A and B are shown apart, each in its own frame.
Chain A
Amino acid sequence: MELDPVIHAAARLRITATLATLPTGDRMSFPRLQELLDMTAGNLSTHLRKLEEAEYVEVTKTHQGRMPVTYLALSKRGRRAFEDYTDALRDLLGASE
């Protein structure tokens, strides 16, 4: 079985898993996501770009007062991909036991 290469990298798996904890319809700010992941801003941006290119993550840019804030959420496609990935992982491990 082929594991989704977009998610099958440590950093992107952790990003996707964190965003998947949000209920549908909610978004998380970049700084909060960074804090929960304990990653550098540069590293997080790089991986988010890959997830955005695959259309797994939706980016909303807005302003809080005069400060620009970026909010992130899994797209419907991203949420499905994450569930499929988790299922595939469990299947693989179940089969190898």
Chain B
Amino acid sequence: MTHSDDDTPLDPAEMLALLERQKRQVTLSYVRPVAWLYFVWGFAWLLGFVLLWLARVVDWLPLGVAGTAFGVLLIASIVTSAIVGTRIGRGVQGASNFQGAVYGISWSLSGAAFAAVGMGLIHNGLSPELASLYFPSAYALMAGIMYLAGAALWGERSQLVLGVLLLVVGSISPFFGSPANNLVMAVGGGGGFLVGGLYFVLFMRRGQRGGA
């Protein structure tokens, strides 16, 4: 795309088009990394929970291996999110820094809180069978609430949809029992992220066509 950076004013219609194009370009610079994050998380949930499910239904996959793979996928996604998150906000400072910092820390804090509850339950005799229902659900509920908070903070509808979906997935998955609850998480949660990513890709395509 070429820009006329000189002082010559264009006619009003061209100026309005230029204005819209620039606004879209700025929006796209925020949307592009979010689309990538949705794909990363979708992949992690889908693969991770399918592995956890597989470990309980086949002989060749030990639960320890599946659990480790799940942990690695999760940590990789968290690191990616942290890096991408700081990159989205790079070069901008001011009032919104507080919002961003609180939001970022809230993920770790609520993750730790939900994990602690699980530990407390296990300590008081929660069986491994029930723990395998609790942890995925607690994780989905936590993520759901965080996405709802994100939707409120940044007025972002895709996070609203994702947040509600994760709350639904988290609350219905225990009814399927173990290990099928993992499949509900994989398809519902992972699938939700992937659809979210696709939505953004389509949004960007439309944006580019509209801006051409």
Q: Using a CB-CB cutoff of 8 Å, which residues 74-97 of chain A contact chain B?
A: 86, 89-90, 92-93, 96
Q: Tell me the B residues contacting A by CB distance below 8 Å.
A: 1, 3-10, 12-13, 15-16, 18-19, 22-23, 25-27, 29, 90-96
* CB nearest neighbor in B for A32: B91
Which A residues have a C-beta under 8 Å from some C-beta of B? 3, 5, 8-11, 13-14, 17-18, 21-29, 31-33, 35-39, 43, 47, 71, 73, 86, 89-90, 92-93, 96
The 8 closest A-B pairs by CB, nearest first: A32-B91, A25-B95, A26-B94, A29-B91, A11-B5, A17-B22, A8-B9, A14-B22
Chain A residue nearest to B7 in the complex (CB): A9
Interface centre among B3, B8, B27 (most CB of A within 10 A): B3
Which residue of A21, A32, A37, A47 is within 8 Å of B90 (Cβ)? A32
Kindly list 5 other residue pairs between chains A and B, CB separation below 8 angstroms, not including A28-B91, A37-B22. Answer: A17-B23, A18-B22, A26-B94, A47-B5, A89-B16
Q: Known interface pairs A36-B25, A36-B29, A89-B16. Does A10 touch B6 (Cβ–Cβ under 8 Å)?
A: yes
A47 to B5: give the CA distance in the assembly, Å. 9
With a 10 A CB-CB cut-off, give which of B1, B3, B93, B96 has the most chain A CB atoms: B93
Give Cα A5 to B22, complex, Å.
Answer: 19
Residues of B with C-beta under 8 A to A90: 16
Q: In the complex, which of the residues A3, A26, A37, A86 contacts B92, with contact meaning CB atoms closer than 8 Å?
A: A26
Interface centre among B5, B19, B26, B92 (most CB of A within 10 A): B5
B-side contacts of A92, CB under 8 Å: 12
Give the Cβ gap from A16 to chain B, nearest Cβ, in Å: 9
**Is the pair A17, B3 in contact by a Cβ cutoff of 8 Å?**
no
Q: In the docked arrangement, what's the CA distance between A36 and B8, Å?
A: 21
Max chain A Cβ within 10 angstroms of own Cβ: one of B4, B9, B22, B95: B22
What is the CA–CA distance of A37 and B25 in the complex, to the nearest angstrom?
A: 9
C-alpha spacing A71/B22, complex, angstroms: 20
> What is the CA–CA distance of A89 and B13 in the complex, to the nearest angstrom?
8
Is the CB–CB distance between B9 and A86 below 8 Å?
A: no
Known pairs A14-B3, A17-B23; A28 contacts B92 (CB<8 A): yes
Please indicate the chain B residues that have their CB under 8 angstroms from the CB of A47 in the complex: 5
Bound Cα distance A13, B29 (Å) = 19
A10 and B90 alpha carbons, distance in the complex (Å) = 25
A9–B200 Cα distance when bound, in Å, is: 32
Neighbour of B15 across the interface among A27, A29, A89, CB < 8 A: A89
B46 to chain A minimum Cβ distance, whole angstroms, is 34
